[in-house]
Chain A
Amino acid sequence: MLSEFRLPALGADMDDGTILEWHIVPGASVKRGDVVAVVETDKGAIDVEIFMDGIVREIVVAPGTRIPVGTVVALIETEDAAAAPVATLAGESGGEGLTPAAAPAPAEEGRREGGSTAAPSDRLKISPAARRRARALDVDVAALHGTGPGGAITVEDVEQARAAPKPSPTPPPPPPPAGAGEGGGMRDAIAAAMSRSKREIPHYYLSTTVDVTATTEWLTAHNAAVPVTQRLLFAALLVKSIALACRELPGFSGFHREGRYEDSPAVHVGVAVALRGGGLVAPAIMDTADKPLTTLMDDFRALVTRARAGRLRASELAAPTIILTSLGEASVDAVFPIIQPPQVAIVGAGAIAERPWVVDGKVVPRQLLTLSLGADHRVTDGRLGAQFLARIAARLLEPASL
């Protein structure tokens, strides 16, 4: 049967995208999880995977076209009816991202890790800043020769190409998309998602201060004993603790859609990553609860690097079932986090700092961390939220068992 492959939504805050490149041609065969296209969005250039097996019959949308989420971009000949439900991927009018049925699927397959790295390797090396500049200046980056590290195209390369006389007269460049400046489009997207969150979700907030002295000591000793490639960050311990707490207590890791909440069978903890040009993305570390710490840390590192390079995969942006936002590096004591719909909870972490604390009736200096929770009253109450935070803290205090 012929199935429609539509432009997926990449979270609650994406309305449209521009196909930059296709990695497939008519006649090519595709497998679930293959990266088939690169789409420019407010969150950078995203690798979009396909969620069906079959043969490409037709590429419907040409590169360079800006299209709304849900637009049919390619037609795929699939072999059986089993692929039919996923063909409606993100076809929901709300643009709420992948359906629970579709989202966890790619991560269940181990081959995804290795398989999907092949396609992006031949991608143009260009920084997100240079890509934005190229768009603003109407410069064709594919024709440029990069002078940056590893042949990467830099902002300077783009500007020089613009300065050089063009071989033929070109029409005046179209006005740049709204907010094309540094983080502009992304700022609009964040504003839209957070406004919706504050409008629709009755938040409640809780916080608890945890004495993490023993955990930081364990971490220092661990990192001194292992090779540099196996060193861990505190945030990795936190991510794993959250994932395990989600397994123990329902109501925090899942999606609220069309008036109803459902826990997600798989726990994918998203990590909020601040981008240097401004803005924020929160891609998921897939199947967080099942990963040993070193694997989790490897994935976490790769994810942050790709987020900052603007090379995330669509599934990673749509998958988070809960998010961690850690502002420890910004030296704040605590975060009062806003939920990203359709999720129903978000955990915040402030800076770990040495402060006075009472232990056995004496005031002593300890390493303290304030954890916070923003959660959805449509699903849980403060009492359950308190238990959830307590379970995260309990896990965090047993780092060797993570």
Chain B
Amino acid sequence: MNREELARRILELVTEIAPDVDAATVIPGIDFRDQFDFDSMDTLNFAIALHRELGVEVPEADYAKLASLDKCVGYLSPRLN
């Protein structure tokens, strides 16, 4: 999966766990928290979705590294390839 595909997949997961977020409006460089009031529940759901869909188990201590779309791609890319 290249970075573009990965970003698209992550976006799908974000809108799956947060159905009230419009995927078209996500700005890759800005934290989900600042854009959409992502809270601890969203983050946990996101971590579970990443585990289920991509097979990556993100420790709680690394949650901050999933804060935005760009950060997610940077964090997950090396773990998937």
Q: Contact string, A193-224, partner B, CB cutoff 8 A, digits 1/0?
A: 00000000000000000000000000010011
Contacts of B37 in A (CB 8 A): 274, 276, 329
Interface membership of B29, Cβ < 8 A: no
Chain A residues near B (Cβ < 8 Å): 127-129, 148-150, 152, 154-156, 220, 223-224, 227-229, 231, 233-235, 274-277, 300-301, 304-305, 308-310, 329
The reply to whether A308 and B15 contact each other, CB–CB distance below 8 Å, is: no
For the complex, give the distance between the alpha carbons of A300 and B18 in Å: 14
For the complex, give the distance between the alpha carbons of A155 and B20 in Å: 11
Contacts of A275 in B (CB 8 A): 20
For the complex, give the distance between the alpha carbons of A334 and B76 in Å: 37
The reply to whether A148 and B15 contact each other, CB–CB distance below 8 Å, is: yes
The reply to whether A227 and B21 contact each other, CB–CB distance below 8 Å, is: no
The reply to whether A231 and B45 contact each other, CB–CB distance below 8 Å, is: no
For the complex, give the distance between the alpha carbons of A149 and B26 in Å: 13
For the complex, give the distance between the alpha carbons of A149 and B58 in Å: 23
Interface membership of B36, Cβ < 8 A: yes
Given contacts A149-B12, A228-B57, contact A155 B22 (CB under 8 A): yes
Residue of A nearest to B61 (CB): A224
What are the 8 tightest A-B residue pairs by CB atom distance, in nearest-first order?
A309-B19, A329-B39, A149-B12, A308-B20, A228-B51, A149-B15, A276-B20, A223-B60
Interface membership of B44, Cβ < 8 A: yes
- The listed residue (B17, B40, B47, B57) touching A305 by CB distance below 8 A is B17
A-B contact pairs, 22 of them (CB 8 A): A127-B20, A129-B22, A148-B15, A149-B15, A150-B16, A154-B24, A228-B51, A228-B58, A233-B41, A233-B44, A234-B40, A235-B41, A275-B20, A276-B18, A276-B36, A276-B37, A277-B20, A300-B41, A301-B48, A305-B19, A309-B19, A329-B39
For the complex, give the distance between the alpha carbons of A128 and B19 in Å: 8
Contacts of A233 in B (CB 8 A): 40-41, 44
Residue of A nearest to B11 (CB): A149
CB of A254 to closest CB in B, whole Å: 27
Contacts of B17 in A (CB 8 A): 305
For the complex, give the distance between the alpha carbons of A277 and B61 in Å: 30
Q: Which among A277, A300, A309 has the highest number of chain B CB atoms within 10 Å?
A: A309
For the complex, give the distance between the alpha carbons of A224 and B21 in Å: 29
Given contacts A224-B59, A224-B60, A228-B57, contact A304 B41 (CB under 8 A): yes
Total number of residue pairs linking A and B with CB closer than 8 Å? 75
**Interface SS of B by simple majority:** helix
Contacts of B47 in A (CB 8 A): 228, 231
Residue of A nearest to B24 (CB): A156
Interface size on B, residues (CB 8 A): 28
Contacts of B51 in A (CB 8 A): 227-229
Extra inter-chain contacts (11) besides given A233-B44, A309-B20, CB under 8 Å = A128-B19, A149-B12, A156-B24, A224-B59, A231-B48, A276-B18, A276-B21, A276-B36, A277-B20, A301-B48, A329-B37
Q: Which among A276, A304, A309 has the highest number of chain B CB atoms within 10 Å?
A: A276
For the complex, give the distance between the alpha carbons of A228 and B36 in Å: 23
For the complex, give the distance between the alpha carbons of A152 and B11 in Å: 14
Residue of A nearest to B60 (CB): A223
Residue of A nearest to B16 (CB): A149
The reply to whether A308 and B22 contact each other, CB–CB distance below 8 Å, is: no
For the complex, give the distance between the alpha carbons of A277 and B36 in Å: 9
For the complex, give the distance between the alpha carbons of A228 and B12 in Å: 20
For the complex, give the distance between the alpha carbons of A178 and B33 in Å: 31
CB of A142 to closest CB in B, whole Å: 19
CB of A153 to closest CB in B, whole Å: 11
The reply to whether B40 and A329 contact each other, CB–CB distance below 8 Å, is: yes
- The listed residue (A154, A223, A274) touching B22 by CB distance below 8 A is A154
Contacts of B18 in A (CB 8 A): 276, 305, 308
